[in-house]
Amino acid sequence: MVAFLFPGQGAQSVGMCKDIHDTYPEAREAFETASRVLGYSMEDLCFSGPEEKLKDTRYTQPALLAASIAVLRVLEANEIMPDACAGHSLGEYSALVAAGMIPYEDALRLVARRGELMAESDPEGRGGMAAVMGLSPEQISEVIKAAAKGRSLEAANFNCPGQIVISGDKDAVADAESFANDAGATNFVTLQVSGPFHSSLMKPAAESFAADLAAASFVEGHARVVSNVTAAWHEPKQTVDLLKKQIYSSVRWEDSIRFLVANGVDAFIEVGPGKVLRGLMRRIDKSLACQGSGDLESLEKILSQGR
């Protein structure tokens, strides 16, 4: 069984998937659809930048969706289809498209709105995030308890063994570094992000997004999708609530991968730009096979192998 994995924010780069766009009409159509739906040139944004604009979450989110679906369309045209899908944060929308649970055009509108609301959620820049290496979830919990002092500070991403992202008030995130070091952290990296994503500070954005989600139509797909929030299967009747909660809840990525394996998945393809998810996969279980597809050489290697 094969699972398609879709990247989230941080995987973007100027020029991403241009060689695939230039080679395959299916990929070009995915970019053209994004341009038509969103009212600006997705090709210019992804291929020419500037980098600062591509890093703005209002543009990052639809750009990564478009790039991922461009790759997906080439795989589909060659009859390479997933048995299951998962996406890291924003990537969950790509996964829902890939599984046939929501039309691509609707997903584009949703992620564009999601990006706007998340950008507006912290206009004063009070929030921040940091990746902490080398500590267990229990140790992270103690670090958070020691550093928070009444401020917002939470575990945002359980990415893989020894890598957990924290999110909340910027000052609390900064104060957590000394407590993390005292607990034996091997590294503490402040992330260059535009808000305290996957923390309770995002709840106002989630509440505003609820109406957009409720207006969307989610259906049974041809493949199943793992929820970031539960690390279990999406059900169409629960998807609106899960995607609302996803904005302020922890991304349970390690648990999601283990859930897929427990349900029979034994091969993975990272669909879209970058190699973040393959890096996490090696930390979760080195025995798991995960191929990339975000550049022409990698994609054509998969196509030559077939299903």
Residues involved in catalysis: 89, 198
Omega prior to 7 cis, within 30 of 0: no
Determine whether 78 is exposed, middle or buried from the number of CB atoms within 10 Å of its CB (0-12, 13-18, 19+).
middle
Alpha helices in the chain (DSSP H): 18-23, 25-38, 42-48, 51-55, 57-77, 91-98, 104-120, 137-148, 170-183, 203-215, 236-246, 253-262, 276-284, 296-305
Helix H or strand E segment including 154 = strand 153-160
Q: Enter the tokens of residue 160.
A: 């893989």
Strand bridging mode 84-87 / 224-225: parallel
d(CA 286, CA 279): 10
Whats the size of the chain, residue-wise? 307
Burial of residue 162 (number of CB atoms within 10 Å: 0-12, 13-18, 19+): middle
- Which residue has 């990339």 as its token pair? 292
Other C-beta atoms lying within 10 Å of the C-beta of residue 141: 14
How far is 277 from 287, CA to CA, in rounded Å? 15
And the tokens for 233? 């299967």
CB 84 within 8 A of CB 225: yes
In whole angstroms, give the CA distance from residue 307 to residue 292. 15
DSSP code of residue 136: -
